[in-house]
Amino acid sequence: MLLILATGIVSIILWYTYIFFNSFQKQEAIKMEILADAYFQFNKASNNEDISLLVKIIENNNSIPMIVTDAKDHILLDQNITYKEANKQKVLSKRLEEMKKVHPPIVINISKDKNQYIYYSNSEILNRLRFYPLALAAIFIIFLWIIYTVFNASSVSDKNKLWSGMAKETAHQIGTPLSSLLGWVAILRSEKIDQSYVDEIEKDVEHLNIIANRFSKIGSEPVLDSHNPSKIIEDTISYFKTRSSKNVVFNYNKPETTLSVKLNKDLFGWVLENIIKNAIDAMLGKGNIDIQLLDTPKEIQILITDTGKGIPKNLHRKIFEPGFTTKERGWGLGLSLTRRIITQYHNGKVFVKQSQKHTGSTFQINIPK
């Protein structure tokens, strides 16, 4: 209703502006006809006639630019045109050509075989009035954009609240069976079974607990503590090595110095898992994943390179949008959450550094120190 009301108001203003512009233009044309008649009467007047009224009419034209010429376009008189004396002829010749395109000349019959011509253009007020509808249209477009932005922001906010609520409820629901699983792991440790199996089950239970913690943090401001990013990367690689194909080879290159950066350990680990999981899927479970941690003066940089199918250049930004996925099954939330965790919570950047078809892709994460 607001849009309909605004459109109606703008339409009415534009219509009345159009009517007013035409009316004003006609008035200026009539004014010039009167001025032309005054010139005609002035030229015919004898020495004894009172020409004060004619002079007043001629002098009263202080807004409409005009040029009077003879039949051969020699300029005889000009009014309301600004110029420097040195450029007078050049400026008047140019304005004369412009005036010829705006209005037909008004003919002043001086004598039987002698005519003069009045050329004129719109006054400054009329010219400004002409651009008023464009300014109004621009304001209306800005108004529409503001309304769209407000409604879109409101919609995004509602969706974020919904996802946050679902995430926290999921974390709450996972909590109960997790407690039971931890109890069963303790019982298994007392049984005479291969403890390496129990260790792996315990790792998965701990990982489920981490996932629950991640979901519980969605929608709230996470706490950032000092962590060694290299340790988190190593733990993530170790977890994937035992749970992915033996045909996936992990290579990790790290700096010699020990780093300490403000991170949320659970959420940062989630980012690494999302990118590595996508890399494994892109390689169809076979290939190399190279991870490099770089230490620069202002930030740390993590480069994750796979040997998968690659990402088309036109999708480098789109893959981070919520709901976008190239998989048959998937919600398209992994990389969206990845970007949100890095940009909003860690004030960093995540992007596709480079990608080639059938060769692989490199994702880069930058986090300020």
Q: What is the pLDDT of residues 227-250, one digit of tens each?
A: 999 999 999 999 899 888 889 999
Average pLDDT over residues 269-281: 92
Average pLDDT over residues 28-50: 80
When pLDDT is cut at 50, 70 and 90, the band that residue 219 belongs to is low
When pLDDT is cut at 50, 70 and 90, the band that residue 302 belongs to is very high
Residues 231 and 107 in one domain: no
Distance in angstroms (rounded) separating the CA atoms of residues 346 and 339:
10
When pLDDT is cut at 50, 70 and 90, the band that residue 175 belongs to is low
* Residue 96 pLDDT: 92
* Residue 346 pLDDT: 93
Please report whether residue 46 resides in a domain: yes
Neighbours of 363 (CB within 10 A): 26
Residues 361 and 232 in one domain: yes
Token readout for 181 is: 């699983």
* Residue 20 pLDDT: 81
Backbone angles phi, psi at 297, to 5 degrees: -55, -35
Please report whether residue 287 resides in a domain: yes
> How many domains does the chain divide into?
2
pLDDT in tens, 330-345: 556 788 889 988 998 8
DSSP-derived secondary structure for 73-131: --EEEEES----GGGHHHHHHHHHHHHHHHSPPEEEEEETTEEEEEEE---HHHHHHHH
* Residue 217 pLDDT: 66
Rounded percentage of the chain residues whose pLDDT exceeds 70? 89
Residues 110 and 243 in one domain: no
Question: 3-state class of 298 per DSSP?
Answer: coil
Average pLDDT over residues 29-47: 80
Here the CATH number for the domain that contains residue 272 is 3.30.565.10
pLDDT tops 80 at residue 23? yes
Please report whether residue 264 resides in a domain: yes
Please report whether residue 274 resides in a domain: yes
Residue with the bigger pLDDT between 259 and 140: it is: 259
End-of-domain residue from the set 96, 122, 148: 122
Lowest-confidence pick of 127-136, 291-300, 305-314: 127-136
Please report whether residue 322 resides in a domain: yes
Distance in angstroms (rounded) separating the CA atoms of residues 53 and 224:
87
Distance in angstroms (rounded) separating the CA atoms of residues 96 and 343:
61
End-of-domain residue from the set 101, 122, 143: 122
Average pLDDT over residues 152-170: 65
End-of-domain residue from the set 85, 107, 122: 122
pLDDT in tens, 190-212: 777 788 878 888 888 887 877 77
Distance in angstroms (rounded) separating the CA atoms of residues 279 and 304:
9
Residues 228 and 109 in one domain: no
Residue with the bigger pLDDT between 306 and 115: it is: 306
pLDDT in tens, 50-102: 778 877 887 777 888 989 898 888 988 888 888 888 888 889 999 999 999 88
Average pLDDT over residues 33-41: 82
Distance in angstroms (rounded) separating the CA atoms of residues 250 and 290:
6
Please report whether residue 197 resides in a domain: no
Please report whether residue 166 resides in a domain: no
When pLDDT is cut at 50, 70 and 90, the band that residue 173 belongs to is low
Lowest-confidence pick of 23-37, 69-83, 317-331: 317-331
When pLDDT is cut at 50, 70 and 90, the band that residue 186 belongs to is confident
Token readout for 172 is: 């709450």
Please report whether residue 189 resides in a domain: no
Q: Which long-range contacts (CB under 8 A, 24 or more apart) does 179-188 make?
A: 181/205, 181/208
* Residue 157 pLDDT: 66
Residues 109 and 229 in one domain: no
Residue-range definition of the domain harbouring residue 60: 2-122
